[in-house]
C-alpha cells in the first residue's frame, strides 16, 4: 500500500482513519499515495486555526507578516526540484507547465512579501482620508481596515495544486488571517508536501497554516461569522458553496472562482500575414496546449473576421500538428497528460457535445503518444473545432471542455464579435489582437463589464506581454457571472477580502492615531 498522506490540523499531523483515496500518476497509471480526512475533529481544527493561529498572526505587523511570506518563499525555493518531480508524477505536466504552477506560486508570494513590506509596521490599514461629519471639522469619519478575526477556508481545484494555494494564502496570511487549505483531491500531493515543508521549517506561528486532504465533507459546516471561504472549481460546486447554510446564516464572505468560456478576438485590421494575426495564432496554440488546456483562463473560443476564418484555421492547425504529446519525462514531449482518467473522459464527452454543433478543423486526439501507453495514459492531443454559424452554435458558448480544445468562430463586424464574447455570460479573460490602438481601446472598454481581465496584444508588445492565460498578482483575477463573480489578486486590493472595513467616527485627535502601530 502507498503512503497515507497525513493532514495538518490543530498544530499536528493527523492521518485520516479511513483507507484513503488513491492518487495516481496519470501517465503511468501507478498509485502514488493516498489521502483521507475521515475522523478528523474539524471543530477543533477550525477552532485552533481561528484562535491560536489568528491571534498570533494579528499580533504581528504587516511588515512582520510580509517577512513570513518571504520565509515561505525560501522554503519553497529550497525544495523546488522535489515539487517538479511531484508535479510530473501526479499532474502529468511537462517542466514548462509545472513552472506555471510552482514558480508562479513562488513569484506571487514574493510579490506580496514586497508589497507587505511597504505597508510597514502597522496593524491597522487606513482606508481613505477623514471626512467631517458636520459643519465644523471637530467630529469626523475615517474608514479603517482590520483583519477579520476568523479563518480562511481555501477550497481549491485540481489544476493548480501549488499556485492555487499560494495565490490565496499570500494575501490571507499577509492580512493576518490563518489558512486552512483543502486541495482538489486528484493532485493533492503537491499542496500537502508544500505545507509539510513550510510546517517543518517552522517559519509560521502555530495554527497559521493547515491542510486537509480528501473529502470536503463537513468543512463548510465549520464556518462561523468572521470566517471567509475562497473557492475555485466548477460552477456547479461553486453554487453549492454559495448556497451553503453556513454562508447564508453567518454572512460568511465567499469568493467563487468558477469556470469560464474565455475568448480571443482578432480585430478586422489584422489580416493574414500581419504581425497581429501571427500573435493570435501563437497565443491560441499556447493556450490550448499549456497544461493540456486545463487552465481556467485558457482560450476556448476564437473569434475572427469571417474573411480570415480559413486562414486562421490553417495557421493554428499547422502549429498544433507540431505539438508532441505523451510522457512528460521524455524531453521531446511538449504536452503532457490530463490529471486523471475522469478528466480524460470528461474531455472526450465534452468534445462530442461540441461536435454536434461544430466541425473538426484539426484533430490531434488520435495522434500517437510519445513514450506512453494510450490504454493507460490520460493524454489527448489538441483539437480545433470550428463552425461558420457562430450564433447558432449555442453549446460552444456554454460548455467548457477542460482540455486542449478550442472553437473557431467567424464574426461579421466588431459589434457581432463583442456580442459573441458576451455570450460567455461573464468570463475571466479575453484577449484582443490588432495594430489599431484606438479600435483596440474601444473594444477593450466594450468587453470590460463582462470580463475580469482584457489582455490587449499589439505588435508593440508582441515579445513582452505576459500571456493571455497567465495570472499576474498585479492584475485582477476573477470574472462576473458564470466565472463566479470573484475577485482575487490585483495587488493589495486582494487584502480587502480578508479584512473588515469600519468607519470610525471621532475627533481629529483620535482619528490621527488610527492606522499607526497599535
**Enzyme catalytic residues:** 257, 296
Nearer to ligand NAP, 358 or 399 (CB): 399
Asked if 40 and 219 touch (Cβ cutoff 8 Å), the reply is no
Q: What would the x/- binding string for ligand NAP be over residues 433 to 472, using CB under 6 A?
A: ----------------------------------------
Segment contacting ligand NAP by CB under 6 A, of 22-30, 71-79, 102-110, 182-190: 182-190
* Nearest CA among 153, 142, 397 for reference residue 259: 397
Regarding beta strands 228-232 and 152-155, do their DSSP bridges make them parallel or antiparallel, or are they unpaired? parallel
Interface characters, 354-393, with ligand NAP (x: CB under 6 A) = ----------------------------------------
149 or 481: CB nearest ligand NAP: 481
Extended beta strands in 99-187, E state:
125-132, 140-147, 152-155, 179-182
Residues between 46 and 105 that touch ligand NAP (CB under 6 A)? none
Residues pairing with 429 in the sheet? 453
- Which 143-172 positions form the footprint of ligand NAP (CB under 6 A)? 155-160
Query: Considering the complex, what minimum distance in angstroms separates the CB of residue 377 from ligand NAP?
Result: 20
- Residue closer to ligand NAP by CB (options 116, 161) is 161
Q: Is 296 in the site for ligand NAP (CB under 6 A)?
A: yes
* Cβ closest to ligand NAP, residue 97 vs residue 400: 400
Q: Is 259 in the site for ligand NAP (CB under 6 A)?
A: yes
Instruction: Specify the residue, 177 or 483, whose C-beta has the smaller distance to ligand NAP.
Output: 483
The strand pairing partners of 23, in sequence order, are 33
User: What ranges in 17-162 are assigned the alpha helix state H?
Assistant: 42-48, 54-58, 62-78, 80-91, 95-119
Residues 6 or more apart in contact with residue 497 via CB below 8 angstroms: 171, 228, 230, 253, 255, 487, 488
Any idea which residue has 501549488 for its cell? 162
Residues binding ligand NAP: what is the number (CB under 6 A)?
A: 27
Nearest to 264 by CA among 5, 40, 12, 467: 467
Separation between Cα atoms, residue 361 and residue 371, nearest integer Å: 26
Cβ atoms 510, 115 nearer than 8 A? no
- Contact present, 163 and 191 (Cβ < 8 Å): no
Segment interacting with ligand NAP, rule: CB under 6 A, options 103-111, 253-261, 302-310, 350-358: 253-261
For residue 216, the minimal CB distance to ligand NAP (Å) is 3
CB of 232 to ligand NAP, least distance (A): 5
Grid cell locating 423: 455570450
- 258 in contact with ligand NAP (CB under 6 A): yes
Residue by residue, DSSP assigns 285-299 as: HHHHHGGGG--TT--
Cα separation, 15 vs 39, in Å, equals 9
User: Considering beta carbons, is residue 231 or 277 the nearer one to ligand NAP?
Assistant: 231
Binding letters toward ligand NAP, positions 395-434, x by CB under 6 A: -----x-x-------------------------x------
**Of all residues in this chain, which one has the CB nearest to ligand NAP in the complex?**
233
Vertex 469 angle, CA 463 and 473, to 5°: 90
Scan residues 209-248 and list those touching ligand NAP (CB under 6 A): 216, 219-220, 232-234, 237, 240
Q: Which is nearer to ligand NAP, 272 or 480 (CB)?
A: 480
Alpha-carbon gap, residue 48 to 25, rounded angstroms: 34
- Chain contacts with ligand NAP (rule: CB under 6 A): 155-160, 182, 184-185, 216, 219-220, 232-234, 237, 240, 257-260, 296, 400, 402, 428, 483-484
Amino acid at each position: 500500500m502507498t503512503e497515507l498522506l497525513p493532514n495538518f490540523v490543530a498544530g499536528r499531523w493527523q492521518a485520516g482513519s479511513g483507507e484513503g483515496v488513491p492518487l495516481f500518476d496519470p501517465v503511468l497509471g501507478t498509485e502514488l499515495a493516498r489521502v483521507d480526512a475521515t475522523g478528523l475533529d474539524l471543530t477543533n481544527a477550525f477552532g485552533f486555526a481561528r484562535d491560536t493561529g489568528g491571534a498570533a498572526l494579528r499580533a504581528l505587523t504587516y511588515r512582520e507578516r510580509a517577512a513570513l511570506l518571504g520565509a515561505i518563499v525560501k522554503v519553497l525555493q529550497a525544495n523546488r526540484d522535489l515539487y517538479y518531480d511531484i508535479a510530473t508524477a501526479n499532474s502529468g505536466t511537462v517542466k514548462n507547465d509545472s513552472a506555471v504552477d510552482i514558480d508562479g506560486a513562488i513569484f506571487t508570494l514574493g510579490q506580496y512579501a514586497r508589497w507587505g513590506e511597504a505597508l510597514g509596521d502597522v496593524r491597522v490599514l487606513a482606508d481613505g482620508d477623514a471626512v467631517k461629519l458636520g459643519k465644523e471639522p471637530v467630529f469626523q469619519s475615517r474608514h479603517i481596515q482590520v483583519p477579520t478575526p476568523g479563518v480562511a477556508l481555501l477550497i481549491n481545484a485540481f489544476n493548480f495544486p501549488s499556485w492555487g494555494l499560494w495565490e490565496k494564502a499570500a494575501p490571507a496570511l499577509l492580512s493576518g488571517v490563518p489558512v486552512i487549505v483543502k486541495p482538489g483531491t486528484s493532485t493533492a500531493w503537491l499542496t500537502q508536501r508544500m505545507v509539510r515543508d513550510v510546517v517543518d521549517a517552522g517559519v509560521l506561528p502555530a495554527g497559521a497554516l493547515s491542510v486537509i486532504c480528501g473529502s470536503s465533507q463537513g468543512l463548510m459546516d465549520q464556518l462561523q461569522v468572521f470566517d471567509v471561504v475562497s473557492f475555485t472549481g466548477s460552477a456547479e460546486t461553486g453554487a453549492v458553496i454559495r448556497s451553503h447554510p453556513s454562508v447564508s446564516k453567518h454572512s460568511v464572505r465567499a469568493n467563487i472562482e468558477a469556470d469560464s468560456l474565455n475568448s480571443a478576438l482578432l480585430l478586422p485590421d489584422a489580416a493574414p500575414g500581419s504581425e497581429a494575426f501571427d500573435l493570435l495564432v501563437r497565443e491560441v496554440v499556447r493556450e490550448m496546449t499549456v497544461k493540456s488546456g486545463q487552465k481556467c483562463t485558457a482560450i476556448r473560443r476564437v473569434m475572427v473576421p469571417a474573411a480570415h476564418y480559413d486562414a486562421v484555421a490553417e495557421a493554428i492547425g499547422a502549429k498544433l500538428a507540431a505539438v508532441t504529446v505523451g510522457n512528460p519525462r521524455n524531453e521531446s514531449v511538449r504536452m503532457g497528460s490530463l490529471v486523471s482518467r475522469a478528466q480524460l473522459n470528461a474531455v472526450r464527452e465534452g468534445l462530442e457535445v461540441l461536435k454536434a454543433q461544430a466541425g473538426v478543423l484539426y484533430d490531434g486526439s488520435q495522434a500517437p503518444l510519445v513514450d506512453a501507453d494510450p490504454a493507460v495514459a490520460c493524454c489527448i492531443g489538441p483539437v480545433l473545432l470550428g463552425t461558420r454559424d457562430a450564433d447558432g452554435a449555442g453549446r460552444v458558448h456554454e460548455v467548457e471542455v477542460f482540455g486542449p480544445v478550442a472553437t473557431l468562430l467567424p464574426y461579421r463586424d466588431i459589434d457581432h464579435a463583442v456580442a459573441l464574447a458576451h455570450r460567455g455570460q461573464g468570463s475571466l479573460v479575453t484577449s484582443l489582437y490588432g495594430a489599431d490602438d484606438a479600435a483596440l481601446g474601444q473594444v477593450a472598454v466594450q468587453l470590460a463589464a463582462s470580463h475580469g481581465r482584457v489582455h490587449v496584444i499589439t505588435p508593440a508588445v508582441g515579445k513582452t506581454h505576459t500571456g493571455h492565460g497567465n495570472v499576474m498578482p498585479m492584475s485582477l483575477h476573477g470574472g462576473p457571472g458564470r466565472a463566479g463573480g470573484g475577485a482575487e489578486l490585483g495587488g493589495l486590493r486582494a487584502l480587502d477580502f480578508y479584512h473588515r472595513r469600519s468607519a470610525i467616527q471621532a475627533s481629529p485627535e483620535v482619528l490621527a492615531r488610527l492606522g499607526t502601530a497599535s
